[in-house]
Structure formats: structure tokens, C-alpha cells
């Protein structure tokens, strides 16, 4: 045991343990909602860890909206509760999910182009290899903060003019366009969840320090005739856009 409830025998990284201790402190009813936290030096002494470890824990809490930094003064509680996880729902768009929570969705277009489908994309969309597909890659934002990188592939012949739309607009929904402009209505889908280390470009887009883990989601949406509509591959910031999957008993 290091100190302050931090154990080097715990399989969790030290900064995660520090973060949990700080979350317990923020949940203390005796702490004023916007109280100033102890200084970095005091936290280093309290928990017996390095200043880098303390800073990493604080950075995550700032990203999650639990702390705010005042340069030269320190860190203060925001009084905000922990950000709840986002439901993993294939048939609801990123835009609709954010707006339902009262959050402001946004996007930054990374690329929009027509390209020949590689083997993996062609197989997912049930197309012959090299069939032209629209590839739309966007950085997704919540309240102006990057939370995910998403790329969609759709058979180009089914969505003529899709790339002529202004995808730099903050609230344009791909699923909304597919439904209303092209009459492509997703009714079911398949999802694969995974996790891996971010590459340098992904880390830069999502404002992560390397090495950093990201959540990955790959989804195929199908129309009522069982024909695939689109393949989506998204990379999620692990703390800004956590995912929740609700399960029942099957009854």
C-alpha cells in the first residue's frame, strides 16, 4: 500500500485509483459544490504518487466535467454529477442521442469521398469487391468537445448526391438523410464492441495522451428486406463518451 488508499498491488493504474479517491471526495456531502481541491503537492504527499499521476487523474476529471482548472490557482469542483453513459442504440443517430439529453451535437468533416469497396467493406455491405461506396468520416462533438471519430460506408448508387450535402453543418444527421432523402430505413442491425490503443492521429483528434485506450464500435444496419444499408466504424473517447448496453432477462 502506498498511502491514502492507493495500492501498488491493485491491477488498476495508479492514476485511476487517485481518480476514484478524488471522486469519493467530490461526493462528500460536507464539501461545498464548487470547493477548491488540495494542491498538486498536497495530493502527491497524500497519495504517495508522482505529480504526473496526479495530473493525469485531474485531467480526466476535467474532461468529464467534474473539475475545472484555474491557471495559477488550482482545481475547483464544478458541482456537476458524473456524466452518464450513452446508450448503445443502432437505430438512433448520434445527433438524436445528444439532443435527447439536452446536449449540443456537432461534427467536423474529415473526409467525404467515393472509393472502391475493399474486401471487408464489400463483405459487410454484401457487395462485389471494388463496388463504389461513399466513405464519410467525421469527428463528432458534444458541446464543442471531441468525443468520437466515426466513418460510414454506403453503396454509392443508393445515395446519389449524398456528398453534395453540407456535412460541415453542426447538426446534419446521416440517418436522418438516409430515411428522408433516400428512403433507406434501418430496422435492425449487428454490433461488435471492442477496445484497443489509439493511433497518433486518433489520439490527436480526441485529445488523448498516448498511450491511450479507445472504445471501438462496428455496426451494420439493415433494411426490412435484409439488405445492408451502411457500415459504421466509430472510435470513442473512453471517458467523454462512455457506452451503456442495457440487457433484460429475455422474458
Nearest Cα to Cα of residue 177 among 160, 196, 190, 201:
160
pLDDT above 90 as % of the chain:
41
User: Tens digit of pLDDT per residue, the chain (251 long)?
Assistant: 455 678 877 777 888 889 888 888 887 767 787 889 899 999 999 999 999 999 999 888 887 778 888 888 889 888 766 555 565 655 566 776 777 667 778 889 999 999 999 999 999 999 999 999 999 999 988 888 899 999 999 999 999 999 999 887 666 888 889 989 999 988 888 889 898 999 999 999 998 888 888 989 999 999 999 999 999 999 998 877 777 665 444 33
Closest among 124, 109, 123 to 174, alpha carbons compared? 109
- Kind plus residue range of the DSSP H or E element containing 215: strand 213-222
Residue whose C-alpha is closest to residue 174's, from 159, 189, 190, 188: 159
Question: In the prediction, which pLDDT does 29 show?
Answer: 66
Name the 3-class secondary structure at 67: strand
Query: What is residue 216's predicted lDDT score, i.e. its pLDDT?
Result: 92
Q: At what angle do helices 40-47 and 51-63 cross, to 10 degrees?
A: 110
pLDDT at 189: 87
Residue 98 to residue 172: CA distance in whole angstroms:
13
d(CA 179, CA 93): 11
Q: Are 162 and 134 in contact (CB under 8 A)?
A: yes
DSSP per-residue string spanning 131-192: -EEEEEEEEEEETTEEEEEEEEEEEGGGSTTGGGS-TTSTT--HHHHHHHTT-----EEEEE
With vertex at residue 248, the alpha carbon angle to CA 246 and CA 251, rounded to the nearest 5 degrees, is 160
Query: For position 249, what pLDDT does the model report?
Result: 41
CA separation for the pair 154, 136 (Å, rounded): 9
Q: Please name which of 91, 132, 97 lies closest in space to residue 223, comparing C-alpha atoms.
A: 91
- Answer yes or no: CATH 3.30.300.10 is held by domain 86-244: no
Q: Per the structure block, which three cell numbers stand in for 69?
A: 482548472
Contact 105, 142 (CB under 8 A): yes
> What span, in angstroms and rounded, lies between the C-alpha atoms of 3 and 21?
11
pLDDT of residue 4: 67
Gyration radius of the chain's alpha carbons: 21
Same fold, 14-77 and 86-244: no
pLDDT tens digit string along 168-193?
766 688 888 998 999 998 888 888 98
Domain spanning 14-77, CATH class: mainly alpha
Euclidean distance between CA atoms 61 and 175, whole angstroms? 32
Domains of the chain by residue range: 14-77, 86-244
Cα separation, 153 vs 121, whole angstroms: 7
Residue (of 106, 88, 219) closest to 173 by Cα position? 106
Amino acid at each position: 500500500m502506498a498511502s491514502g488508499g492507493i495500492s501498488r498491488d491493485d491491477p488498476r493504474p495508479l492514476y485511476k485509483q487517485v481518480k476514484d479517491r478524488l471522486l469519493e471526495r467530490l461526493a462528500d456531502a460536507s464539501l461545498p459544490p464548487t470547493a477548491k481541491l488540495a494542491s498538486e503537492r498536497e495530493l502527491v504527499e497524500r497519495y504517495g504518487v508522482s505529480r504526473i499521476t496526479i495530473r493525469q487523474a485531474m485531467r480526466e476529471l476535467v474532461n468529464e466535467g467534474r473539475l475545472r482548472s484555474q491557471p495559477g490557482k488550482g482545481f475547483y469542483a464544478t458541482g456537476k454529477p458524473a456524466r452518464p453513459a450513452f446508450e448503445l442504440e443502432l437505430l438512433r443517430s448520434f445527433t438524436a442521442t445528444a439532443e435527447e439529453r439536452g446536449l449540443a451535437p456537432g461534427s467536423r468533416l474529415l473526409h467525404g469521398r467515393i472509393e472502391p469497396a475493399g474486401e471487408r467493406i464489400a463483405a459487410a455491405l454484401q457487395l462485389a469487391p471494388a463496388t463504389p461506396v461513399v466513405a464519410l468520416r467525421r469527428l463528432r462533438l458534444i458541446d464543442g468537445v471531441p468525443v468520437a471519430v466515426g466513418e460510414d460506408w454506403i453503396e454509392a448508387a443508393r445515395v446519389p448526391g449524398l456528398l453534395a450535402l453540407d456535412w460541415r453543418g453542426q447538426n446534419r444527421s446521416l440517418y436522418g438523410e438516409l430515411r428522408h432523402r433516400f428512403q433507406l430505413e434501418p430496422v435492425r442491425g449487428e454490433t461488435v464492441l471492442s477496445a484497443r490503443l489509439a493511433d497518433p492521429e486518433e489520439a490527436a483528434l480526441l485529445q488523448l495522451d498516448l498511450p491511450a485506450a479507445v472504445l471501438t464500435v462496428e455496426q451494420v444496419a439493415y433494411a426490412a428486406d435484409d439488405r445492408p444499408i451502411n457500415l459504421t466504424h466509430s472510435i470513442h473517447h473512453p471517458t467523454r463518451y462512455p457506452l451503456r448496453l442495457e440487457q433484460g432477462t429475455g422474458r
